Amino acid sequence: MRLLRAGLLGLLVQTGIVCGSAQLPFGGENAFSAYDDGLFTPLGDLSSLSSTEFTSLGHPMFPRHNVRIKQSHFCDASVRAYTGYIDVEARHLFFYFFESRRDSDADDVVFWTNGGPGASSTMGLFMELGPCRVTSPNSTEFNPYGWNDKANIFFVDQPVGVGFSYADYGESVGTTQEAGEDIAAFMAIFFAHFTKFKGRALHLAGESYGGRYIPVFAATIYDKNPQLIEAGLTPINLSSIMIGNGCTDFSTMFPSYYLAQCEDPTFPAVQGISDCVRMKQLVPRCQKRYKEACVDKLDTIDCAAAADFCQASLGGLFKDLNHYDRSRPCKGMNITECYPIVQNIGDFLNNNHTQALIGVDKSLRGHTFNWSSQTVHQAFVANLDHYAFPAQYYIGALLERGVRALIYVGATDYICNWMGNEAMTLALEWTKQESFRNDPLRVWTINGNQIAGLTRSGGGLTFATIVGAGHMAPYDRPVESLELANRWLAGVDL
C-alpha cells in the first residue's frame, strides 16, 4: 500500500495535478506537510510549524527541490524566527527567516545574501542588519537597527559549501546562474506554501559579490513567473533589488581602484604622487586588455590574465591596507583582525548548543564553522564568473521591466568602492537611462538635516552613498542604513 501511494503521488506531481510534492523524512527529523486524502495542500501558516522537528515542503514545478523548516527560538524574542534547509537532491542550503517587528502580516519580504563568492550570510545576520548581534560564544544582543524593523527577512548561506550549507557527495555550484536556480525554486515553494505572503512584494538584497548574485537571482525569479501563472499559481511579486557595496561590473571597478587610492574627492589620497602617476598610466592598459579579453570576446586564458594584470597593477600597493574600509587602521584582508566580531560569530556558531537550537544537521555538528569557503570562491573564479559574467546587464533588463534597483555604497570602502559603483550605474542601458543620468548628485539626510550621503535617482534606479561607512555599511552606520532600507521599502525618495 505504501509503495502504491508513493507511486500515485509521484505520478500526480509529474502531471501537475497536485500543488506540491511529498518528500521522504530527511534524517528521521522531518514531519510531512499537510495532506488531504493523500494529496498535498499548502501549509498555510508559519505558526503551525513545529519547534522540535522539520516540516518538509515541496512544489510540483520543482521536483528536485525540497524545503525543510522549523521554528527556532533565538536571537530576537520579539518576533518569530525559523531555520531550515533548501534540499536540492544531495545539496543542502541553510537559511534563517525572521518575521517583521512591525507587522508580519502586511510588511514586505526581503531576501539577503552576502558575497565572496563563498561568504556566509551569517555575516549580514549577526554583524550587520539582522535582529541581533553576537556578543560572545554564548550570547547575542538585540539589534534595534535590524532590517526586520519593517520587513520579513531571509538570510541564506549560498551557494552549497558556504556556512552550514553542505553536499552529501561533494556536489558543488560554480556559477551565479546555477545558484540562481536554487533560490528561485526556494522562493516559489515558500510563497506557495505560506499563503499570507502570496502576492507580497519581494526585494532581493545582497552585499559585495551580491552585486553579481542579486541581479541574476532576481532575473531567474522574474523569468519563471509565466510558468507559475500557466500552472494556475500566484506569480512572485518581485518589486526591487538592493545591492550594497557591490562588485557588479569589473570594467568599471578595476579603474576605480586607482581613483580610490589617488583621486577620491571625498577621501585623502592613500598613495604617494609617484605611485599614483604610475597607476594612472596603467589604467588605460588595464581597460584595453580587459575589454579585449573579457568583454568583446571571452577567452578563458586571456581574460584571467587581463584580470590578474588589472588587479596587480591597480590594487597591488593596497595589499597591506584594509580593503573594507580606508578609514579603519588594520592590515590587509584579514577580516577577523579588522572586525573581531567575525571571530565571535564563528565561536557562537561553533557552539553545540547553538547548532542544536537552530537545527543544524547532526552530521555537521562538531565540525568547524567557517565564515568563508575558499573552495567555493575558487570554483567561481575558475569559471570566470568572478570577472567575465555581465551581471550589470541584468540590472538594466530588470529596470526595463519595472523592477526598481537601489545601489548603495559605504563611502570609505575600497574593494567595491562608490566611484566604481557610480560609474557602473551611469553606464547602464535601459529606456529611462537619461532620467537617471541627468539627475545631479545631491545630499540626502536623516533626522532633519544630518547629512547621510549623496544620491541620484531616475527611471527606477537609485544610487546612494553612506558617509562614514565602509564595505559592511549596516555595521558601520546602522542608523543611516536602516533609514535607507525603510525608505526604499516604503517607496519614499531619499
Tell me which residue of 96, 101, 100 sits closest to 113, measured CA to CA.
96
Distance CA 278, CA 267 (A): 20
208 belongs to the catalytic site: yes
φ/ψ of 492, rounded to 5, equals: -95, 135
Contact 259, 314 (CB under 8 A): no
Side-chain-side CA neighbours of residue 395 (13 Å): 33
Query: Taking CA 24 as the corner, what is the angle to CA 20 and CA 25, rounded to the nearest 5 degrees?
Result: 115
251 belongs to the catalytic site: no
- Give 108's contacts (C-beta < 8 A, 6+ positions apart): 150, 151, 152, 200, 201, 202, 203, 239, 489
In single-letter form, the type of residue at position 455 comes to: T
Cell of 456: 541620484
The separation between CA 109 and the C-alpha centre of its own chain, rounded to angstroms, equals 13
Active-site residue, from 87, 149, 413, 476? 413
Q: What is the dihedral of CA 27, 31, 36, 38, to 10 degrees?
A: 20
Beta bridge partners of residue 140, listed in sequence order? 134
Tell me which residue has cell 509529474. 14
Active-site residue, from 72, 104, 120, 208? 208
413 belongs to the catalytic site: yes
In single-letter form, the type of residue at position 310 comes to: C
Cell of 129: 542588519
In single-letter form, the type of residue at position 24 comes to: L
Strands (E), 257-377: none
Distance CA 182, CA 186 (A): 6
Distance CA 395, CA 216 (A): 8
Distance CA 423, CA 263 (A): 14
Tell me which residue has cell 531567474. 220
Cell of 232: 494556475
Catalytic residue annotation: 208, 413, 471
